[in-house]
């Protein structure tokens, strides 16, 4: 049993180390977690040998998925930097990474007029929606969740409805740009989950946002990204 545990630990670190040479520490975490999960499943199926095999398979899968998401993150951050370098107001507010998920934040004030859910023509002419759709299409092995948020001004029911309408507007804009509708879920969160103080104008502006949450599927990274 001790030999098995030592072997499992060794496989986990070797697999994670290979991922490190290929990418950054986020990929390493994916490889290590994948190895641990794979080992647990393998042990449940085939005992000690199954755990060892599961660790290798899980570690490789975790590293591949992490690498797949790393590449997308770089492209989205490059798009963000380019948009912020323009004179016109940028739609994208930020790009965050949470484990293997990517979160893009769009500014509702730039996308929509006050109390409206129709995307402004300027948002299309800036080319940012096109760029986001291009990257999403380049990496098809992901699911996409579009989430709308508002500030606390107005009633709960009104804010909920507006957030849903805005999330659906962004979803429809991506579908028009050939992002597969089956990959996308749209929902509104109203004034819940604020990221800033609603008692100030600056805080309310930050809370008015649309987030796009991108998560890998189990098949992520098994094929080369589309050009």
Residue pLDDT, tens place only, 2-35: 444 444 444 443 444 444 444 454 555 454 445 4
| Domains of the chain: residue spans and CATH | 2-66 (no CATH), 86-216 (3.30.1330.60)
Say whether pTM exceeds 0.85.
no
Summarize pLDDT for 130-178 with one digit per residue, the tens. Answer: 999 999 999 999 999 999 999 999 999 999 999 999 999 999 999 999 9
Q: At what angle do helices 2-22 and 25-84 cross, to 10 degrees?
A: 20
Alpha-carbon 16 to chain mean position: 22
Burial of 55 (0-12, 13-18, 19+ CB in 10 A): buried
User: In this structure, what DSSP letter does residue 54 have?
Assistant: H
Helix (H) or strand (E) holding 185: strand 184-188
Burial class (CB in 10 A: 0-12, 13-18, 19+), 144: buried
Q: Taking the CA of residue 23 as centre, how many other CA atoms within 13 Å lie in the half-sphere pointing to its CB?
A: 24
């Amino acid at each position: 049993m001790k030999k098995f545990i030592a072997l499992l630990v060794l496989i986990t670190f070797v697999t994670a180390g290979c991922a490190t040479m290929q990418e950054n520490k986020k990929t390493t975490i994916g490889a290590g977690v994948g190895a641990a999960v794979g080992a647990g499943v393998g042990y449940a199926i085939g005992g000690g040998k199954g755990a060892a095999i599961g660790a290798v398979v899980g570690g490789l899968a975790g590293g591949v998925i992490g690498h797949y998401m790393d590449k997308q993150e770089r492209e989205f951050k490059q798009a963000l930097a380019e948009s912020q370098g323009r004179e016109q107001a940028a739609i994208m507010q930020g790009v965050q990474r949470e484990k293997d998920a990517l979160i893009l934040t769009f500014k509702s004030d730039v996308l929509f007029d006050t109390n409206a859910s129709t995307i402004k023509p300027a948002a299309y002419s800036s080319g940012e929606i096109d760029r986001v759709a291009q990257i999403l299409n380049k990496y098809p092995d992901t699911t996409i969740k579009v989430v709308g948020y508002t500030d606390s001004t107005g009633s709960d029911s009104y804010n909920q409805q507006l957030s849903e309408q805005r999330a659906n507007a962004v979803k429809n804009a991506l579908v028009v740009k050939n992002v597969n509708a089956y990959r996308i879920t749209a929902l509104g969160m109203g004034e819940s989950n604020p990221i800033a103080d609603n008692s100030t104008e600056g805080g309310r502006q930050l809370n008015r946002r649309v987030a796009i949450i991108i998560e890998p599927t189990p098949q992520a990274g098994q094929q080369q990204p589309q050009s």
